[in-house]
Structure formats: structure tokens, C-alpha cells
Amino acid sequence: MVPAFLCSSNQRTLITMPFFTHKRFLTAVFTVFSFSGFAQTVIKGVVRDINNAPLPHVTVIVLNKKHTATTDSSGAFLLRYLPAGKHTIRFSHTGFGMEERNINLAPDEMKVVNITLLPATEQLQTVEITGRRESGYKNTNSFIGSKTATPLREVPQAISYVTKELMQDQSAVRMGDVVKNFSGVNQFTFYDDLTIRGFRINGGSTTQLLNGMRTFSGFWKQPMVNYLERVEVIKGPASALFGNASPGGTVNRVTKKPLEEARKSLSFTTGSFNTARALADFTGPLNKDKTILYRLNLGYENAQSFRDLQFDKNLVVAPSISFLPTEKTRINFDAVYNKSNSRLDRGQSVFNGTDQQALYTTPISLSLSAVNDYLNEETYMVTASLVHQFNSRLAFNLAYLHTGYMEDLLENRSANAYAVDSAGKPINGLVARQAFIRKSPQNSDNVSAYFTYDLNTGKLAHKLLLGYDYAQSVVPPGASQQTASGYLRTNGTAGAYNPARASDYVFYNYTYKTASGNDTTIRIPKPNVPSYDLVKKNNQLEDMSKYIFTTATNSATIAAFSSLNGFYMQDQVKLGNLQVLLGLRYELYINKANYKTDSVKNVTQHAFLPRVGLVYSVTKNINAYGIYTQGYNPQDAAIQGNPIYGGPFDPIESNLIEGGLKTEWLNGRLSANLAVYRIRQKGTLYLGSDPNNPDLRIQIGEEQAKGVELDVTGQIAPHWDIVVTYAYNDAVITEAGKADSTKIGEQKPNAPKQQGSIWTKYTIPAGPAKGLGLGIGGNFVTERNLSLNEVQTIPGYALLNAALYYKVNKVQVQFNMNNLTNKTHWVGGYDYLRLFPGAPRNWQATVSYTF
């Protein structure tokens, strides 16, 4: 007992309190003393990717201690009750490289440790099975440059890309919206049709890639991009890796892959031209062990256009399943189904003129379609792939892709000429038309198999690759096309007009206004399909039962079969700061002329394709590189198989010499790449000069492109993203036949000498305006040639675009405004009868919900 004289009045009160109150007080006192006597330490922080985006579900382990944590949705982690002293903290996450930090903690100390995880590069697979975990405009790794997961700065060839985050921020819907962010890439038409460094590629060919596999899409419509993780372009010939390809470059579309954590998002868009669009993206594990992952992307669009009578209705369904039975084996199934209903837009026609003033004689909304035209397309792509890691050195990759396409078309379109008068002279303002009814299926198959093996020979580290590709493309029997064109004859047939036999044709009265405003009537040949009057704009329901149709034979209707077999090997050698890439491919291309007939025969072409590249790490931030590679394209099978053309001919051959710098700054958040290149292509066929054989071809054509490209991508500060591109490209004809000698030195069609773009976005990270973002940018191209037969040009242009964003919790509202200055411009075209104008000022508003 404590003596009473030693106690204060408060203490006396305490002593006289009940026993259980004493017990609570003593427990509190001992707890305080225990924390004071045995001080605990705390480590906390945030884990982010290289784009400064937080990474959830990162595993944080204190080595040799029984302490673990997992980052939350904001990337934050907290480790408590650690003893003072030295600790090693390990951060690990699927798809990212492991990071370790050594921490020395004093008693009762709290340390903040912020970590940036870089994407892992050890996966060896022919397609991307593991979903990309980065977010933002910057991408670190690619499979397109070497068929292995290689950092882009270590690939000795220029590769440009656009991520899904940039596409979302710009509200990009189709490839035409995406390509403005690539250096050296330009639209050729409205269609899935591009030029890369001055060389044309399009979706109708099998030289584009889906996840590194050869495929094609319908040429007429650009597919939606909502199911894509990113779009990549490897510049220059990629034949050494993927077979025959454009010398300018190859487009690779990378689909979204399943992720280990559950993510779901919905978005709804409305905007100009009665646009309505709904998108969904769901991903996550299907079982507790996370050995079965899924992803499902859905897209629906119903939109009209600034172009008369044009519209688009699209449905996209893109599921993906990943099965991970063991740590060494991954199996993936992907599918993309796209159904499109629309009209085929053949472009704007203008009044006859030879200079650019003629472009403004009709509105950019003008199209020559009829009300009853339609284009219905279905495309599906199904992929199955397997990756197995036998051991730490040896891996096997196998993938199969099947693509199917069906076209159902009815159209009234330009005949690519003006209607003629009785003397056979063009009538200004009256465009001749023709009509097509076509049903055409097509399919392709692609198999890719290869082994990779890592080994060391002395100081040299090797990454060996040995593989085989098989691809085939088939137009099966049953495709057909009916064509109506020409002028009506008195005998009930139709054909080209011959003024020397004018009495054989039907004539009618045509009334037009003269320059003075007076009506004038003349007698002119009556067309099989009504001509289009640029003044009266006769878009109407056409009675096609009155047309005289004939059965047409073209590449879309003749049964066709082509295949390629590719054998290739590659070695990536590393010695200190120097890396060497050595590759060789043998390609055998077979086309079956007169396929599915009694006179079928094989037309074969082959090529050896070397590839040599060097990368040298000048500093931690700067890599210098150089490359020489060869490419080829087979000659058209119809020309090869017909002796009247003078063949067979050698394949079209190309080569690339390129050098440049690949740099990374700001702890890897910002990349800046510079490329200088020269591409030569030879073997182009031109018409000969033998008057007794007008179809004879001679193989003396040569084209050359020389240029410089700059790409800057990433973050210049936290929450501040940027993309800058610039390209100078001198793409000209250097050799041609005698009849075509005037083409020498002309810039190639739809290949601007200069083009560039910029886009930047800043999001306010804190304060009352937290979540508010602003995006602004633009793009420009210089003047372009449309045709080399009769050189016609379209003017250059510069466009300004902007966007506002506001995100609160799981909801984001986004408003995009494009072509702010309402600039009249043309993105491409064939000639002044087939121009492809760009959209006037337009807007889109999007609401997104992530959960």
C-alpha cells in the first residue's frame, strides 16, 4: 500500500477505485512502456510503372523476415512492426522485372520508398500472351523487331507505336485516326490503305500482321481499334522476319491480352454526325489459382458521316483466354469478329481542272453513291498459340492464325472519267458512272513455329532463334461480280463509246447552264448507268434492273491460291556494350495460276533475305544503331502466268540502310529516337515500247526513299504525357521505261516530303481541381502528288485538336474537339475524280466507368 502522505488527491481517488479499473489503467501503462522500450520501424511507399501510373497487386517481401505486403489500387504499400537494422526489400509483379532495395532503419524510424518497376524482358514467345501491364503513352518492349521480347532501344531498326492510352485520350476510332501519331506514315485513301516512307500497303493484302502473324482485313473499311493494346510499325523491309512485305514498313496490330487482376470498364460516346458508340473491356482470372485468365472486348457503333449518304454500323466481339497449366507453359486463344454494314465511299469528284483551285468547285461532302447502295462485310480472326519453356535456356513457340472475310457489295460509283459528248470529248461537270454487284469470300492461314536458345561462348552471350513459317491465302470458287458500264448501243448492248460509229449508240438530250447562266441542250450518248451531274447532285434510288450487266473477272472473283514457306535463323550476340543481330531467311512463294481449273500450274518465286544490325550503348541513356536488310515482294501472279506480258519476272527486291539513336531519359519515362534511312526498290514492271506487243512489260523500274524521322514519347513530368513526331521523306522514281521517263524524279503518290505531329496531356494530381486534364495537339503534312500518270496534287494542311478530361473516383468524362479551325483538307486520293477529304470540325463526348 502507498502511504497516504505520498499521494495527491487524484492519486487517492485512483487508489480507492475498483480493482477492474486499476487493471485497465495498468494495461495501458504497460502498453505505452512496451512501445517506448521496443521501438518499431515502418517502411511505406508507392510502386509505379515507367509512365508514373500506380501498380496494384505488387508483392512486397522483406527477405529473411516474415513480413510481406501487397500494393493497393493506388500502388501504395505499408510494412509495419519491423525491427531496426538492415533489410532487403523485394518488389515483384507479373510482367515486370524484379526490383530489390537495401534499407537501413534506425529505431522508431519511418522511411518512404517509392519504386518504379520496368517491364520484364525474359518472356520468349511468338505472340504476346501476357497482357501489357504498362499504362501511358510509352511502351518498352516489342516482339515485332526480333520475335523475342526485346527492349525497343536494343532493336537495330526504327519501330513506332501508339498505345491504347493515347488512342483513348484522342478518342481514336480507326486506323486513320491513329496513323497521324506515326512518323513517316500517311493515309493513301479513306480505306485501310497507307503509305509508309513513301511505299503503299493496304489491308487487302496479307502483308500486315496481327500479334506478329500474317493476316488481312477488308480493304474498303478501316476496322475499329477498341480491342487493340497498341499499333506498331516496323520501318523498312521486314521480310527477313515475316516474309514478303512492303519495303516501307509493316503494320502490326497487338490485341489486348488477359490480366491477372480483375478490371472492367464501360464507355459511351456521342458526337458529330449522329455518332453513337458503346465499348466494354473486361479482364481477370477465372479461377482462384489464376491459371485461367480471360479478356473480353466489345464494341458497337452506329454513325453517319459528313459525306453524303455515308454511314457505318459496326459490331466487334474480341474474346481472349490464357491457360497457364505450369510456370513453363502458356496457351492462348484469341478471336476477333467484326461485322460492318455501310456504303462504299469512292470519294469526292470535282469539276475538270488541272490546278488545286478545282478542288474547291464541289463541297467535300459530295459523294456519287445511290440511295440503294450497300457494303456488308464480315471478318473474323482466330488465333491459338503455345509457349513452352523447357529450361532456362530453351523455349518453343507455336502459333496458328486463321482469317476469314466475306464481302457483299452493291454500288453506283465513278467510272474514273467524265461523260463524253457525241464527239467523244469530256463534258465538264458530268461524271461517268458504273455499277458493281459483288460477292467475294477470302481466307488465309498462317502457322509460325520456332525455337529460342540462350548460350554463352566465352564473353559472348547468344540468343539463337530457328524457325519456320507457312502461310496461304485463298479466294475460293464461287466469288462473282456483275458490272454495268459504258454507253447503250441500239442493239441492246453496252460498251465504250466510239465517235466514229456514233450511229450505233442511243442518244438523249442533256441540258446544262453555260458560264453566262443560260440553259443549253445538247445530244449526247446515253450511259448504261446514269452519269452524275455535279450541279444537280442526283443522289437517288437507282433502278438497277434497267442496267445491262456483264460478268466481270478480276482478282476478287477469280479463284486464287498462293502460299509461302519461310525458313529463318537469327542470332542476337552481346559483348559488353555491343549487340549484333544476324538474320537470314529463305522464302519460297508459290501461286497457282488458273487455280481450280484443268490448266492449273505453279508459278514460283524465291529469295534469300539477310539482315545485319548493330546496337552500341554509348552511355546509360543513349544507344547508337545501324542496320542493313533486304526485302522482296512477288510479282503479280496474273502477269507471271500469262506469256503475253513477257514474263516470268524476278521478284521485286528492296534493301534498307538505316542508322540512328535510341535514347531514354527521366528514369526511363521518356524516349527520343532518331532514324536516318535509305530504301531502294527495284524490279518494278513498266510497259514496253514495242508497238506490235502493247502488253509487253520490261523490268527496269527503280524507286528510292531517303529521309529522317524523329519520335519522342513518354512523360516529361509526372502527370504530363507527350508524343512528338517529325519525318522528312524524299521518295521518288529513279528508273523507268522509255514511255515513263517523265516520271523520273517525281515524288511518289500520297508521300508528303514532310509531316509531323504533337500531342500532350496534363492532368492535375491534387487540390480542388484534382482529376481535371487538358490535351492539345495537331498534325501537319505538306503537298502531295495524287498520280504519276497525269500529275495532280493536293495541298498540305495543319490541323489543331484538343480534349478536356475530368475523372472523379471511377468515372471519367471526356470531350474531344477535332479540326478546331475547320480546315478544309484532303487526306489522300487517286485523282481529281476520286478525292478523299478529311472531316470538318467535329466533336465527341465520352463517359467511362471503371470498376
Confidence band for 742, pLDDT divided at 50, 70 and 90: confident
DSSP string, 146-172: TSS-EEGGGSSS-EEEEEHHHHHHTT-
Confidence band for 10, pLDDT divided at 50, 70 and 90: very low
pLDDT of residue 597: 84
Distance CA 244, CA 801 (A): 37
Distance CA 568, CA 419 (A): 54
Instruction: Compute the radius of gyration of the chain from its Cα atoms.
Output: 32
pLDDT > 50? residue 124 = no
Place of cell 493476316: 215
Tell me phi and psi for residue 809, to 5 degrees. 55, -115
DSSP string, 554-608: STTTS-EEEEEEEEEEEEEEEETTEEEEEEEEEEEEEEEETTTSTT-EEEEEEEE
Residue 635: helix, strand or coil by DSSP?
Answer: coil
pLDDT of residue 721: 97
pLDDT > 70? residue 208 = yes
pLDDT of residue 488: 97
pLDDT of residue 598: 85
Residue 483: helix, strand or coil by DSSP?
Answer: strand
Mean pLDDT of 188-196: 92
Tens digits of residue pLDDT in 696-706: 888 878 999 99
Mean pLDDT of 512-539: 90
Q: Copy the grid coordinates of residue 724.
A: 512528338
Mean pLDDT of 322-330: 90
pLDDT of residue 40: 63
pLDDT of residue 456: 92
Tens digits of residue pLDDT in 98-118: 888 999 888 888 899 999 887
pLDDT of residue 133: 60
Torsional class of 809: left (φ above 0), alpha (ψ -120 to 50), beta (otherwise): left
Mean pLDDT of 455-477: 93
pLDDT > 70? residue 9 = no
* Mean pLDDT score across all residues of the chain: 89
pLDDT of residue 601: 83
pLDDT > 90? residue 723 = yes
Tens digits of residue pLDDT in 535-573: 999 999 999 999 999 998 776 777 889 999 999 999 999
For CA atoms 625, 141, 297, 291, give the dihedral sign.
Answer: positive
Distance CA 252, CA 10 (A): 81
pLDDT > 90? residue 7 = no
Distances (CA, A) of 316 to 127, 217, 299, 439, 442: 21, 14, 5, 22, 19
Confidence band for 737, pLDDT divided at 50, 70 and 90: confident
pLDDT of residue 26: 46
Mean pLDDT of 520-545: 94
Burial of 394 (0-12, 13-18, 19+ CB in 10 A): middle
Tens digits of residue pLDDT in 57-85: 889 999 877 788 999 988 999 998 888 88
Confidence band for 3, pLDDT divided at 50, 70 and 90: very low
pLDDT of residue 53: 79
Burial of 318 (0-12, 13-18, 19+ CB in 10 A): buried
Q: Copy the grid coordinates of residue 368.
A: 456519287
Q: Copy the grid coordinates of residue 716.
A: 516529361
Amino acid at residue number 821: T
pLDDT of residue 30: 43
Tens digits of residue pLDDT in 283-297: 999 999 999 999 999
Residues near 87 by beta carbon (within 8 Å), at least 6 away in sequence: 43, 62, 63, 65, 102, 103, 104, 105
Tens digits of residue pLDDT in 433-447: 999 999 999 999 999
pLDDT > 70? residue 739 = no
Burial of 242 (0-12, 13-18, 19+ CB in 10 A): buried
Task: Please provide the size of the chain in residues.
Answer: 851
pLDDT > 90? residue 354 = no
For the ranges 49-53, 301-305, 393-397, the lowest mean pLDDT is seen at 49-53
- Closest by Cα among 273, 169, 188, 285 to 841: 273
Tens digits of residue pLDDT in 681-694: 998 877 666 667 76
Confidence band for 4, pLDDT divided at 50, 70 and 90: very low
Domain 141-253 homologous superfamily, CATH: TonB-dependent receptor, plug domain (2.170.130.10)
Tell me phi and psi for residue 648, to 5 degrees. -75, 160
pLDDT of residue 24: 52
- Closest by Cα among 158, 181, 160, 162 to 236: 158
Q: Across 640-752, where does the E strand assignment appear?
A: 652-665, 670-687, 697-717, 720-735
Distance CA 382, CA 515 (A): 59
The CATH number of 254-484+551-681+695-850, from 1.20.1260.10, 2.40.170.20, 2.40.30.10, 2.60.120.330, is: 2.40.170.20
DSSP string, 507-564: EEEEEEE-TTS-EEEEEEEPBSSPPEETTT-------GGGS--EE--STTTS-EEEEE
Place of cell 500469262: 642
Tell me phi and psi for residue 736, to 5 degrees. -155, 170
pLDDT > 60? residue 211 = yes
pLDDT > 80? residue 203 = no
Tens digits of residue pLDDT in 574-606: 999 999 999 999 999 998 877 888 888 888 888
pLDDT of residue 134: 65
pLDDT > 70? residue 204 = no
CATH architecture of 41-116: Sandwich (2.60)
Report angle CA 792, 795, 801 to the nearest 5 degrees: 145
Mean pLDDT of 458-472: 95
Domain parsing of the chain, residue ranges: 4-37, 41-116, 141-253, 254-484+551-681+695-850
Mean pLDDT of 110-139: 70
pLDDT of residue 240: 80
pLDDT of residue 789: 66
Place of cell 482466330: 382
Whether 814 and 267 have beta carbons less than 8 Å apart is answered as no
For the ranges 463-472, 479-488, 512-521, the lowest mean pLDDT is seen at 512-521
pLDDT > 80? residue 119 = no
pLDDT > 50? residue 449 = yes
Q: What percent of the chain has pLDDT over 70?
A: 91
pLDDT of residue 19: 41
